[in-house]
Chain A
Amino acid sequence: MSLLTCQELFLGYDSNIIVKNLNFSVNSGDYLCIVGENGSGKSTLMKTLLGLQNPIRGTVSTGDGLKKNEIGYLPQQTIVQRDFPASVKEIVLSGCQGHCGLRPFYRKEEKAMAEENMKKMGILEFSNRCYRELSGGQQQRVLLARALCATRKLLLLDEPVSGLDPMVTASMYELIYGLNKEGITIIMISHDLMAAVKYATHILHIGDHVFYGTKEEYQKSEHGKMFLAQESGGQEKADSKRSKGGKHHHE
């Protein structure tokens, strides 16, 4: 049985349908990348999977004993968080909140879990530092550690590398890949098609034309080929522009 199944899903706001008839399922251990242009409904889909928004039609069902409070989530950063006075430890620990119910304080095991996740993300040394003083990459690690406190099964990531520089982006991808290898199922929204093809096991491309399948199928499909060519073409263009610019600079 699969962890998460979407059947005949219609998404959108009010009567404005953005995504039509979406069918896919995620199995334990999968690494699913959701790609598509801006406004194609990626974030709406993510919100629906998290149960923050109701679909217009269709169902999202969980299986394999996955409960609603066992989904970890790495949201995009909000403005509020940029000047929030909170230590790394406090934030990571707040990931355990979903398990608390009405219990007012954290248990010892939860504190231990927070510590273990901080260690895993390499942020234990910052645990008493203030969140707003950390770099973008470090902040993402804090939020990832918090998400890990909420789940041992399924992580939903909303553009985890936006705004990070290339080095940090690469190490973030490796970190997520490592978590997937440990058996945590990953669903990630990404703009970065190349990285998606590199790490993911499955691709969901939404837009005018919907594709769902393994990454190998995607690379072979007409649709996938076209987008991948566009993407790598775009990258080459950008690279050549950059080197031209560089030359200019030298002259």
Chain B
Amino acid sequence: MNEIFEKLGLYFQHSFVLNALIVGVLIALCSSLLGVTLVLKRFSFIGDGLSHVAFGALAIASVLHFSNKMMLVLPITVLCAILLLRTGQNTKIKGDAAIAMISVGALAFGYLIMNLFPTSSNISGDVCSTLFGSTSILTLSSFEVALCIILSIVVVILFLLFYHKIFAVTFDETFANATGTNANRYNLLIAVIIAVIIVLAMNLVGSLLISALVIFPALSAMRILKSFRSVTIFSAVFSVFCAFLGILISILAETPVGSTIVAIDVVAFAVCALIGSFGTAAK
């Protein structure tokens, strides 16, 4: 046991490990907050779709030699989020099909661009680390860490301020609209926040695994708890705990950060599902 702590102590002397831990926990917190809304609104896949868009945008940014890729990736992803939520309502291509279309398209174009205009000799390494976030969380610049902290705080504050409105719009959009709450405005807000979270989370788990950070905490909480507030709080705690544990384990066992966190999310979900089914059986 002592050996483990010694090893951890050694690692934490490096600022990049500490940065990774802070950023990881913040991202996990943010992504879990809106997970409940997305799952309930049947938008679980929007995280997945947007992350592929972000991948495509990242490819373009690196080909264009942007010094700070976030500056291009963030606006493109936000724009796509708005488009996707808009099309969800009444257009010829329905929500889920639109998401599938945009996400696969962006993935294909991203990879194509990366291959046509290679920026480094190791394309498959680059692609792999964008998709699975293998090392990027350990190589964050201090600017990226600061940006991540600021954006996380903004997301949390927005969520707290609009908590009741997000609830009203999630539970019953028609009623909210009919009684004078502008549901579209809050749908837009949700879309923008999601896009910001996705871009942040790409550093942590890579673009393929982001959906896991969004939906597992919410689904786990919904197995056990019964009110919106308790589900939200539990999923935040769940997500932070899993991310923290995942990062520690990945440091000790030298496993990829993203997939370790997601693996822990899956195990924790199974535990919650078991507890939930015992709970209903007891009744």
Contact with B along A116-133 (1 / 0, CB 8 A): 000000000000111001
- Interface residues on chain A, number (Cβ under 8 Å): 40
Distance in Å: Cβ of A143 to nearest Cβ of chain B:
8
Distance in Å: Cβ of A67 to nearest Cβ of chain B:
8
User: B179: CB under 8 A from chain A?
Assistant: yes
A90 touches B228 (CB 8 A): yes
A97 touches B40 (CB 8 A): no
Distance in Å: Cβ of A123 to nearest Cβ of chain B:
15
User: B163: CB under 8 A from chain A?
Assistant: yes
- For chain A residues 137-165, which have a beta carbon within 8 Å of chain B? 146-147, 150-151, 156
- Interface residues on chain B, number (Cβ under 8 Å): 30
A98 touches B164 (CB 8 A): no
Please tell me which one of the listed residues A50, A97, A128, A151 contacts residue B164 in the complex, with CB atoms under 8 A apart: A97
Q: Assuming A104-B162, A106-B164, is B181 touching A98 (CB within 8 A)?
A: yes
Residue of A nearest to B223 (CB): A85
Please tell me which one of the listed residues B41, B175, B229 contacts residue A90 in the complex, with CB atoms under 8 A apart: B229
A133 touches B226 (CB 8 A): yes
The stretch of B67-75, B166-174, B259-267 that contacts the partner chain: B166-174
User: B200: CB under 8 A from chain A?
Assistant: no
A98 touches B179 (CB 8 A): yes
A97 touches B168 (CB 8 A): yes
Distance in Å: Cβ of B272 to nearest Cβ of chain A:
13
Residue of A nearest to B42 (CB): A80
Residue of A nearest to B280 (CB): A133
Contact with B along A49-60 (1 / 0, CB 8 A): 011100000000
Measured in the bound complex, the distance between the Cα atoms of B167 and A81 in whole Å is 12
Q: Assuming A104-B161, A106-B164, A130-B227, is B181 touching A97 (CB within 8 A)?
A: yes
Q: List 19 A-B contacts (CB under 8 A).
A: A51-B178, A69-B180, A73-B174, A73-B179, A75-B172, A75-B178, A80-B41, A81-B171, A81-B172, A84-B40, A84-B228, A85-B231, A90-B227, A93-B164, A94-B167, A95-B179, A100-B164, A100-B165, A104-B163
